Amino acid sequence: MRLSKLFGKTQREVPADAETVSHQLLLKAGMIHQVAAGIYSYLPLGLRVIKKIADIIRDEMDKAGGQELMMPVLQPLELWQQTGRDLAFGKGLFTLSDRRERKLCLGPTHEEVITELVRYNVQSYRDLPLLLYQIQTKFRDEPRPRGGLIRMREFTMKDLYSFDTDEDGLNQSYNKMLQAYQNIYTRCGLPTLLVEADSGAIGGKESHEFMVITKGGEDEIIYCDNCRYAANAEKAESAKGKLEPEELLSLEEVATPGAGTIEQVSDFLKIPKSHTLKAVFYIANGKLVFVTIRGDIEVNEVKLKNALGCIDLRLATEAEVIKAGIVAGAASPIGIKGIKIIADDSITSGTNFVAGANKPETHLKNVNCPRDFKADLMTDIAQAHAGEKCPRCGSELLSTRGIEVGHIFKLGTFLSEKLGALFVDDNGVSYPIIMGCYGIGLDRLLAAAIEQNYDEKGIIWPMSIAPYHIYLCPLHQENPEVEAAAENLYADLEAQGLEVLFDDRKESPGVKFNDADLLGIPIRVTISPRTLEKSSAEIKKRSEKEAQLVPLEEVAEKLKKLIRD
């Protein structure tokens, strides 16, 4: 490709609203253009990268036994209502009506459509297992698009769905995908960390995310260096520590003037926060719930939401709490009626806690569960933090940030049951098909690749996904010998099938070198009167400082070798 003809210019100054490195560089390099918040056009260079990523993904999906198909973006809302996931996605779902007022939505993902398709095509265990995938545009009305390609409202995703007859099969499919994903990231030059994850609106039981570790990442990861435990902070657990058990003492009221928060109560009574019970009120699907947890621990709302099985969850306002007859600042789980009590399992890790008395400025000492109150649900709803102990091995937990570049889920049968995707086994008995789903965001993968590979001059593409392999850069183009040598070399390299970006512009050396660096093309080939004196061209890798002179007739071979390695 001749740079003089290439659509898309490099910018000297970055648009001010870009803050993330990948966003800035993509704009500066003229690879993307913003159309609206979270909506972008790809220019030719950017699109070439997306295509290369797509090729790698296809190759690995096919090798793992996947079959590619394509499903529509436009979907009947009714299909989503059948599984109830229209509610799970809530406002994240883009909806619209057709001319007959039939409700449609733009697919945020394709489980419903593919399950319906599989129901039609699969009747017998003989048709299974099945791995089907597509690379398709998805639409999600994100509350806050951000970071350029990192969180978009319209994006491209590879989604594969597995269909199996039993758990074993699901596990095999899952492991195949896990391996294929590792291969994809390796081939894209991206080190990733596999972490346990929450499955969110997709649903299902077990899921893992692939994280590219980077400071600006959206997700917090809690991990253990010792035993390799790693989980998204939404899901992470930590050992809460057993407090020394004491003899159960009887309840005792104590005046706590002016003390409403855990901090104030523990200061006032001179006890550690871990000896108090915190009360937090939420509105879950419109209903007030009482959440209690040890005073030194915070509630993890994702876990709470999962425990409650609710779609809407928010903190209750003080007015809502008071209206329910509860004394804010001294709320007590004892004697509560008509309100669901959810307890974190940490409240059984000690004894004789201090909790509210449901009287103004009064607390109760020696509160014990289940002696004094019963929780409707007792489970882990605690937020884990770095510095706490690993739930597996007891070492200290660490924390870092990452970009989620892939997410795989064991879905189970909830979708196939609701949509009637059944198969008959060898005894002629019907069962729902067991499903899994596996997603990779291509745009985000591209952005993550930049976050991982850049310097102050620009992008440094890994060879496998670089838009072009070679940047051919003649200097002093008015010099007929340079012109001829560059044109010859360009024609020769193109004829040999190499991917060359030929900077045939009449620009100064500084401009050309800076653009070459900004665009991040892995190999730069410079031809100038100086190199031609030695009948050579200069070859320099983007990732290295040193250049070398190579005789013109050896250049093609040398480049092929560099690209191969």
Q: Which parts of 120-139 interact with RNA (CB under 7 A)? A: none
Residue 508 binds RNA (CB under 7 A): yes
| Strands ordered across the beta sheet of 523-527 | 500-502, 470-474, 523-527, 536-541, 547-551
Nearer to RNA, 104 or 475 (CB): 475
- Are the CB atoms for 495 and 547 separated by under 8 Å? no
Nearer to RNA, 389 or 457 (CB): 457
The residues that bridge with 32 in the sheet, in sequence order, are: 42
Chain positions 405 to 464 lying near RNA, rule: CB under 7 A, are 407, 441, 444, 457
Nearer to RNA, 483 or 494 (CB): 483
Least CB distance from residue 290 to RNA, whole Å?
Answer: 17
- Are the CB atoms for 418 and 83 separated by under 8 Å? yes
Binding mask 139-158 for RNA (x = CB under 7 A): -x-xxxxxx---xxx-x-x-
Angle between helix axes 442-452 and 21-28 (nearest 10 degrees) is: 100
> Per the structure block, which two tokens stand in for 202?
């997709």
Binding mask 514-533 for RNA (x = CB under 7 A): xxxxx-------x-x-xx--
Alpha helices, DSSP H only, in 161-300? 167-187, 262-269
Nearer to RNA, 394 or 509 (CB): 509
Binding mask 228-267 for RNA (x = CB under 7 A): ----------------------------------------
Least CB distance from residue 107 to RNA, whole Å?
Answer: 13
Residue 201 binds RNA (CB under 7 A): yes
Least CB distance from residue 537 to RNA, whole Å?
Answer: 8
Residue 83 binds RNA (CB under 7 A): no
3-state helix vs strand vs coil in the chain, percent to 5: 30, 30, 40
Cis peptide preceding 129, ω within 30 of 0: yes
> Per the structure block, which two tokens stand in for 50?
């997306």
Chain positions 298 to 317 lying near RNA, rule: CB under 7 A, are 301-302, 305, 313-314
Chain positions 33 to 52 lying near RNA, rule: CB under 7 A, are 34, 36-38
Q: What is the Cβ-side half-sphere exposure of residue 200, based on CA atoms within 13 angstroms?
A: 13
Least CB distance from residue 505 to RNA, whole Å?
Answer: 9
Nearer to RNA, 13 or 101 (CB): 13
Residue 19 binds RNA (CB under 7 A): yes
C-alpha torsion 342→345→349→355, nearest 10: -10
Phi, psi (5° rounding) for residue 410? -95, 110
Phi, psi (5° rounding) for residue 74? -80, 120
Residue 54 binds RNA (CB under 7 A): no
Least CB distance from residue 528 to RNA, whole Å?
Answer: 3
How many residues of this chain interact with RNA, rule: CB under 7 A? 73
Least CB distance from residue 301 to RNA, whole Å?
Answer: 4
Residue 214 binds RNA (CB under 7 A): no
Q: Which stretch binds RNA (CB under 7 A): 11-19, 236-244, 336-344, 367-375?
A: 11-19
CA distance 32 to 25: 10
Chain positions 323 to 382 lying near RNA, rule: CB under 7 A, are none
> Per the structure block, which two tokens stand in for 168?
């074993």
Q: Which stretch binds RNA (CB under 7 A): 266-274, 297-305, 352-360, 553-561?
A: 297-305
3-state SS, one letter per residue, for 193-218: EEEECCCHHHCCCEEEEEEEECCCCC
Query: Exposed, middle or buried by CB within 10 Å (0-12, 13-18, 19+), for 149?
Result: buried
Least CB distance from residue 90 to RNA, whole Å?
Answer: 7
Q: Look-up: residue for tokens 């056009």?
A: 41
In 3-state terms, what secondary structure has residue 49?
helix
Least CB distance from residue 554 to RNA, whole Å?
Answer: 16
Residue 538 binds RNA (CB under 7 A): yes
Residue in 200, 241, 260, 360 binding RNA, rule: CB under 7 A: 200
CA distance 399 to 221: 5
